[in-house]
Structure formats: structure tokens, C-alpha cells
Amino acid sequence: MNIQNHLPTYAENHARLPKSYGQGFCPWVPIILSSSVTEDGNALRVSTVVPVYGTKVDMLRRVSPDEECRSDMGFDRGAPHSLYIHIPFCISKCTYCDFNSTVIKSQLVGEYLKAIENEFQLINKKYSFKTVYIGGGTPSVLDETQLSRLLNIISKYVDVFNLKEYTIEANPGTLNNEKIHILKNSHVNRVSIGIQSFNDKYLKFLGRIHTAKETKDIFLNLREKGFGNINIDLIYGYPGQTLNEWKMDLRICSRLNPEHVSAYCISYEQGTPLANLIDSGISKKLSEEEELKMYENTKDFLINNGYIHYEISNFARQGKECQHNIVYWENREYIGIGTGAFSYVNGERYCNIKDVKEYISNVKSKNSLICFSEKLSQKKRASEILIMALRMTSGISKHEFLDRSGFDLAELFGKQLSNLAQAGLITFDDERIKLTRKGLSVADSVMMEFV
Ligand code: SF4
């Protein structure tokens, strides 16, 4: 699951929120952190975290250094340990997709990889990354030569031997033996497969390019070639899907025995073919009750099958929790490279230009790559720390909160916390605050109390 792709705007999130607890359910929607508007007035999606200082910031940022208003309190001062690289190409567009992706054109890929290398040069070997995540788009759509080139570029700037986790996203139908061999030789140690469904009828409905058989084949092939850390991405709750069909997907998934499962409820993003089908009345959304039943079933099934439910929509075998995504959920710093990639450093968030051609052209002409930046006030940052931490089932302790934000949790959010505890949505356990089972099902509503 590529978190950077799933960040709706604050306004969108508000529009979707139910009026009261218990009516809303949208575990698919990662929580929005703040509102943002670009210079041309367009609202931006705001992801979790990212950082950029030194050379890259000085060269790319639009805000002047005088505008700096960093706080010395609470900031995670260490250098960012996580790197995200965005590959925005796909074979075709899925019906539900409004992610930052475009249909692949071979000529553009060469120029894009060159631009990525140039962006890497800006950060040079300044950081000692612990996790690298290549997301998209569909990174595995690159041909063998392009894939080798991308991985070579990364190896030039990152000490890949010492990475704790090195993930690439791959889609069935785009990965062959040669590419798997290239990944292995380049020290990639985790593959996240966008399977979404094991049902051919729904794969077609969702606009996926692969069949259920291909999804199993790619998984078994990766296993056979020695990959011991594989994530399967699944989606549920789309029009027409029954609870039994979803249960079947979960059963097939668990038979494959991946180390990690991300299971998200479908979201209807404006302007996508799927949303148009709903708006025109051709397809009908499942009810919130049906979605909720599927979510509850997902948790029960995967937990009973030995997975740890460690984040609202994420499950892992012991020790296989996604280290890269935990950086986002712990609101720690990271750097993003490529179109639309977010970075977060010293309480300052940046987003690269989304358009591939504009990105390439700005890299060539050494113009700014940043289309949006935002300095977080101490209070906003504290709010984000709590909101993101509550996505994790382990929550956050009062001490951690104080340590990371500089605020006393009770002083800042005492009223909200006691209301939510009274409603049975959060709990204090051994000094930790976390969502209850009921709270997890209406997480968006709970989080909005802290915005
Ligand atoms: S594979 Fe489909 S859902 Fe994923 S980024 Fe490409 S078009 Fe979007």
C-alpha cells in the first residue's frame, strides 16, 4: 500500500464525514492532515510526512529562508530515514483510480529516469536511509533495462546493503522472471503486489489488467525466487460484491500466506469512471452497514489466521509490519523523489510537481520542483502526531506524545479525549491512548476531533 497515493484533501474528508459517530465508516480513507491550496487555487492532497533540507531545499523551495519559523520543541531532529520514489506509469487506468499515475509512454520513461537521477543528485548521499519504497503508478511496468537503470540509480545514492526494508510495488501481468531476478540482485527485499481481488469478474469491473490466475502466479513466482516478505493489497466493498465473495478473497489470500495484507474499502473519487457509474445510477454503492460488515470480517478472519492487526487497514505476521509506512504513521521525517512525491523535514512539508512533463522540464531547467510547501505550527504538528498515531492499533503513550510534540496530551485535547472515551471510541491502557474496536470502525470521525 502506497500511502502517498491515498491522501484526500481536508475539504474532501470533511465532505465525506458523517454527522455523528456510528454513522460513518471509511477505513479506506487515510486521515487528512491539513488543508492546503496551491498557488493556482487548487486544493492539494496532503500526505503524511517528508523532509528536505540543505541543498535540495535551498535549490527547490519557493519560500525564502527568512520565512522559516521552526520550533525547537518537539521536532524529530534526526535526519530522515525513509525515502519514497514515485514511478507514475501504468499500462492503463483502473476505473477507481485517481492516484498520481499516467499511461506509460516508453520515450517519456527514459527522460523521467534521468530527471529522477538529477533529483537524487540534489540530496546526494546526505542521508542514511533505513527504508526505501518504490511506489506508483506501477513500478514493475518498467521494462528490464529501465528497471535496472532505476535500481542502479538508487544504489548510487543509497546504501542498499544496509536498508532495513527495500520495497517495490508490482502488479500482476507486469513482472517476469528476468525482472524478479533484477530485483533480487539489486537487494530489494519486499514486494507489494496490487492484487485487489481474486475474482475475474470484479478485476474486469475495476479495470485491472490481470486475471486471478496471474495474481496467484506472480505471488508463487516471487516466493520461488526467494522473496520472504510479500504484501498483498486487496480492495473490498465495490458495487455488486457480496460478503461471501469477499470472504472467498480473504481465504485465497491466506492460503497464499503473505507476510503482510493491506485491505481497504473502495473509495469513490470524483471524476473516476467508477464514480461516474455511481452518479449516473448504473452501479450502486454498498451500504455503510455492508462495508462495515466486510471490515469487521476482515479483522476477525486475518487475526484468526495469525496476522497482527497493527493499523486500521493493515495486517502483518509478527515482525513483518511495514517499516516504511510506520514512518508515516509515526509522523516521522521522510524524503520523496519523483512527480507528486511528498517530503517532510523539520516540520515543513513539500510536494513535487505532479505533471510528468513539467517535472522533467523543471529538472532540466533547474527550476523549482516544489508545487506546494507548508510549515506546520507546533499545534498542528501535535494534532497530526496524535491523528497518525491513532491509526496504529498500539496508539501512543502520553510520554511519547509529550516527547514528540512538546505538548501535554491532557492539556491540549483533554475535553475531546474524555468525550471520546465516554462514547467508547478510545481507551487509555497502561498510559496509552488508542482506538477501541468501535473507534476503529469510525476512525475518520474520531480523528476529526483532533483537527
Ligand atoms: S495500477 Fe491502477 S490503481 Fe494502481 S496506480 Fe495504476 S491505474 Fe491507479
pLDDT over threshold 70, residue 37: no
Binding site membership of 137 for ligand 1 (Cβ less than 6 Å): yes
Binding site membership of 94 for ligand 1 (Cβ less than 6 Å): yes
Take atom 3 of ligand 1 and give the residue whose Cα is closest: 97
- The pLDDT tens digits for 133-182 are 999 999 999 999 999 999 999 999 999 999 999 999 999 999 999 999 99
Q: Do residues 107 and 222 make contact, with C-beta atoms less than 8 angstroms apart?
A: no
Instruction: Report domain extents, the chain.
Output: 3-329
d(CA 177, CA 180): 5
Q: Is 26 exposed, middle or buried (0-12, 13-18, 19+ CB in 10 A)?
A: buried
Return the pLDDT at 100: 87
Q: Which amino acid is at 42?
A: N
Ligand 1 centre distance from Cα of residue 306 (Å): 29
- The pLDDT tens digits for 317-355 are 999 999 999 999 999 999 999 999 999 988 889 999 999
Task: For the domain covering 3-329, report its CATH number.
Answer: 3.80.30.20
Return the pLDDT at 59: 36
Return the pLDDT at 427: 93
- Best residue among 4, 87, 101 to mutate for probing ligand 1's pocket (most ligand atoms within 8 Å of CB) is 101
β-bridge pairing 432-435 and 426-429: antiparallel
pLDDT over threshold 50, residue 14: no
Take atom 7 of ligand 1 and give the residue whose Cα is closest: 93
Binding site membership of 269 for ligand 1 (Cβ less than 6 Å): no
- Best residue among 1, 86, 93 to mutate for probing ligand 1's pocket (most ligand atoms within 8 Å of CB) is 93
Ligand 1 centre distance from Cα of residue 169 (Å): 11
Q: Which amino acid is at 291?
A: E
End-to-end CA distance of the chain: 25
Ligand 1 centre distance from Cα of residue 187 (Å): 25
